[in-house]
Structure formats: C-alpha cells, structure tokens
Amino acid sequence: MKEIKLIKTEEDYKDALNAIEKLIAEDPRPESKEGEQLLLLSALIKDYESNVFPITLPDPIDAIKFKMEQTDLSPADLVQYIGSKGRVSEILSGKRQLTLDMVRALESGLGIPAKVLIQKPDPNKESQYQHWDTTLFKTMAERGYFGTVPQNKTESLKSFFSLSDFNLEPAVLFRKTSFRSEARTDKNALSAWKTRVLEKAKKMKAPKYKHGVVDLAFMQNLIKLSINDNSPVLVQEELRKIGIKLIIEPHLPRTHLDGAAILAEKNNPVIGLTLRHDRLDNFWFTLMHELAHVGRHYNQEIDLFYDEKLQDKDGTEISEKDKEKEADEWAEESILPRTKWEISPAKITPSAMAAQSLADELGINVAVIAGIIRYKHQNYYYLNKIVNETTVQVRNLFPDAFKIIKIKWKT
C-alpha cells in the first residue's frame, strides 16, 4: 500500500490489512509517523468493516443457556430473574419471549448484555450460517475443516459446529497483538478457529494437568530446548507430558491472531498458535506468553462474555491489559532475565556479538535472544540478519497444519 486512502473496494481493504500487519510487526511508537499511520489505517478499516461486515449477535436463549453452563446454574436458579419455574421452562424452550423486566433482571444479575437479550429468537438457526462470509467458508474448506467433500455452506457449518457452541467465544482468549483494540475481529472466524483447535486437542491424549507445574523456573528451563533445530516439535511433546496440549492451527481471515490460551477445560489447558509470523523468535515469545497465562491465570474461573469484557463469576470486571502485561513480563523474564539484561552490552548496543554472547550464556537459540532484544528496544530493524536469515522456518515442522486440500464439492 503506497499511500493511505479511503477504503472503497475489497482490494482496497486487503491492501489496508496487509499494510497494517506490516506496521504492527514494527510496533511503532504512537507519536511516530508509523504510529500515526497505524491509527489512521485502523480507523479506516474499522469504518469499512462496520458497513460491510455487520456484527451478528448470538441467539438470546443460547446466550442464557451458555451463561447457565458456565456458572453451573439450574433452571431453578433463573426463577429470581424470570418469575416462576413455568416461565423459565417456557423461556428456555422458546415458547415465551423475554419481557423488558426479565431483560433488565438478567442483564443485572447474570451480566448478559441487553442488546443480546432483546433480539427475537431465530426459529431457523440455520440462517446464521447462511450469512457467513464466503471467503471465510472457502478458507475453512481448503484447510479441511469439513473433510474432502463438503456439503453446501449451511450444511457444512451446521455439521462442523454440531458438537460446539456456535458463535460463543472461548472461555479465556488472549490475542497477542495490539491490533485487537483497533479493528473489529470477525467473531465467526474466531469461533471457527477455536472450534478447530479444540477439535484437534480432543484427539491428543495427555495426562491431567496439575496446577502450579508451570512457573517461571519451568519456563526458563523449557526454552533451552530452542537450541535444537526441531525445538517446536520437542516442546509440543514436553508440554503434552504435563497435560498441556499445544495445537498449531493457522489463523483465519480477519482474526490477526498469534496465539491463544483456552482454559475452559480444567483437566488440560490448550494453547493454540497460528505461526502467523514464521520465525523462531515469534514462536517462542508467543508460546511463553500463553504459557504465562496458564501459569498465572489458570483456575481463576474467568469467563469471556459477549461484550468482550473479562469478568469473574461475581461480576467484577478484570482488566485484560493487566493480564496481558503479566503474561508479557513472564515471557520476557523466561527468555532474558532482567538481571542478565541490565548488565549486558546489548542493552546499550544491540549488536550481533552481544546477542550471541547472551545466547551462549543462557543456552538459548541466538535468534530467540535477538528477537527479545528487538522487543526490549522496541526497534524491529535491529538484528534482522540473525532473526530472519539464521532462524528455523517453524511452519515446515508442522506440514499437516498448513496443508491445503483440493475440494470436491457435492452438487
């Protein structure tokens, strides 16, 4: 994208997404020229998406049932919000619509947004699938989400989501990119990616995870595997042995996702990585970030609600930024401890020699050290040769995850 301009066409939109992704990788300071371009592009993309990709809210009855499941509520627990056992039964079965008083009570008591509850239940839920973005559907098909011979769009999506909660976001999802606050994420794509990751995780056998196993010392020891050429494969097996399932699944259009920690399943935390940036330093930093969420935030009973705010079960709002900051701190400390950083020449002069010296001392791959040095300096032009030319191409280690299949459509 040579210049920033109004987004009027699909081609303009794709150019803007490519441009903003490059700017995000540079992580510019807000007051810099690149920072201003990032803000401007984000605003243009958000405006375009609000017109072209309207948000589809979940069905109100599905929202109530999901909330009940997540907070272990029975129909009897809803009587205080709805009025009687008979009315609760009628509401949950779709025979009676919610009144304004019920909406207010459910919003106040359960934290379900009124904008979700005031919708009329859709008697034909399949219509939700009919409005899915065609590009997203085709991408899912090419990656084998529906097998080698998909049905039509509605039937394929209906089958894919048959064992999951359609249009419900994962119980703890942390996106490692500042882009999340600037432009709208396609929630359908996010749900599809999450479902795919959990589908793969179910096929991976692992012992029950014991809370407390993952701490800073564990992470600092784990990252020493990075000196091996196949370290991403090795770490996947090491995590499986302690009950953490590491799944590689490419991101879907309009998610801009690097990684996620899905902590809904208490026996086995799931970490999904997209390898959106095919570099060893990105793999390890993102993995350490998500592992930090497991170590610090596992078993805290956090839910992610429809209004995209994190809340405890008592309704107390939690700052996502605080959680992200905590995870970043552990990720940094696991790769390059502050005590080593403070006395390293790399803090003043980020040279290749200084990076190699730190790598040798810590027993970590030099590309990973170079990546964290760039992160600490907030300058992604430093040490390019080490990061981009001497690093392992991680995607090559997971060919099945990036395989594109030839589709034979049923007629």
- pLDDT recorded at residue 306: 22
Same domain for 292 and 220 = yes
Amino acid found at 100: L
How many alpha carbons fall within 13 Å on the CB side of residue 360?
7
What one-character DSSP code corresponds to residue 390?
S
Each residue of 57-71: pLDDT tens digit?
Answer: 667 887 888 788 767
Same domain for 293 and 189 = yes
Same domain for 341 and 264 = no
Full residue range of the structural domain in which residue 216 is found:
166-321+396-402
In a domain, 296, yes or no: yes
Same domain for 83 and 37 = no
Same domain for 311 and 180 = yes
In a domain, 159, yes or no: no
In a domain, 127, yes or no: no
Each residue of 233-258: pLDDT tens digit?
Answer: 999 999 999 999 999 999 998 887 88
Same domain for 170 and 95 = no
Quote the crossing angle between the two packed helices 231-241 and 280-297, to the nearest 10°: 20
Q: Give me the residues of the chain with pLDDT under 50, please.
A: 1, 165-183, 302-319, 411
Same domain for 352 and 243 = no
Each residue of 378-392: pLDDT tens digit?
Answer: 888 899 889 887 667
- pLDDT recorded at residue 13: 81
Same domain for 223 and 106 = no
Same domain for 340 and 385 = yes
Distance of CA 262 to the CA centre of its chain: 8
Number of folded domains in the chain? 4
In a domain, 101, yes or no: yes
In a domain, 291, yes or no: yes
Same domain for 313 and 368 = no
In a domain, 134, yes or no: no
| Residues sharing a CB contact under 8 Å with residue 42, sequence separation 6 or more, in sequence order | 20, 179, 182, 183
The answer to whether the CB of 331 falls within 8 A of the CB of 324 is no
> Where does 265-396 have alpha helices with state H?
280-297, 320-335, 338-342, 352-362, 366-377, 384-389
- pLDDT recorded at residue 395: 93
pTM here is 0.68
Same domain for 292 and 197 = yes
> DSSP for 279-305?
-HHHHHHHHHHHHHHHHHHTTS--EE-
